[in-house]
Amino acid sequence: MLEEEFKLAKGDVSKEADWIMGIAELVEEAVHLDFAAVDAKSKKEREMILKVANLIDKIRIKHLEEFVRRIGDQRYCGAKHNLSAIKRFMEVGDKHRREGNLKKAVEFYKDAYDLLNALVILVRKKELEKPIESKQSSQHQTQPSK
C-alpha cells in the first residue's frame, strides 16, 4: 500500500516506529485504566488506579506533544485514532493466531504494519517535503553563465 512513500523515509526507521508503538501502548493503557477504575472493588483501589492513570497521562501527553509537533496539528486527531487502530489490529491478529487462523492473523498484522508505516511517514514529513532536485536542474545550476 505505502511501499513507494515508505521508501522515501530513508534510513533506519526503527527508532520512530518503536517510539510510535510506545505512544500507541500508552493510548491503549489509558483506556484499560479507565475501565479498571470503573471496575475497582473499593474506593482505595479506584484512587490507586486513577493515580497510576495520572502518571501515565503525563508521560503520554509529553510524547503526544512531540508527536503533534512533528506531524502537525491538523493531522493529530486522525493519527491518534491510527495509534489506537494499530494496537487493536495487533490484538485481533493475536486472537486469530491463537485460534489457529494464521492467514487472518497475518492480514491484521499487515494492516497494523501499514498504519505504522503511515505514521512513520508523517513523523518524517520534513525529510519527505524537501524538494527533489533533478540531475538536469543541478547541472544547470553548476554551469557557468555565458
**With 50 as the cut, is the pLDDT of residue 146 above it?**
no
- Which residue is it, cell 510510535? 20
Q: Identify the burial level of 30 via C-beta atoms within 10 angstroms of its C-beta, where 0-12 means exposed, 13-18 middle and 19 or more buried.
A: middle
Share the mean pLDDT of the chain: 82
The predicted model scores a pTM of: 0.68
Q: Identify the burial level of 97 via C-beta atoms within 10 angstroms of its C-beta, where 0-12 means exposed, 13-18 middle and 19 or more buried.
A: middle
pLDDT exceeding 90 applies to what percent of the chain? 47
**With 60 as the cut, is the pLDDT of residue 117 above it?**
yes
Q: Identify the pLDDT of residue 104.
A: 97
Listed in sequence order, the residues at least 6 apart from 93 whose beta carbon sits closer than 8 Å to its beta carbon are 104, 105, 106, 107, 108, 109, 112
pLDDT class for 131, splitting at 50, 70, 90?
low
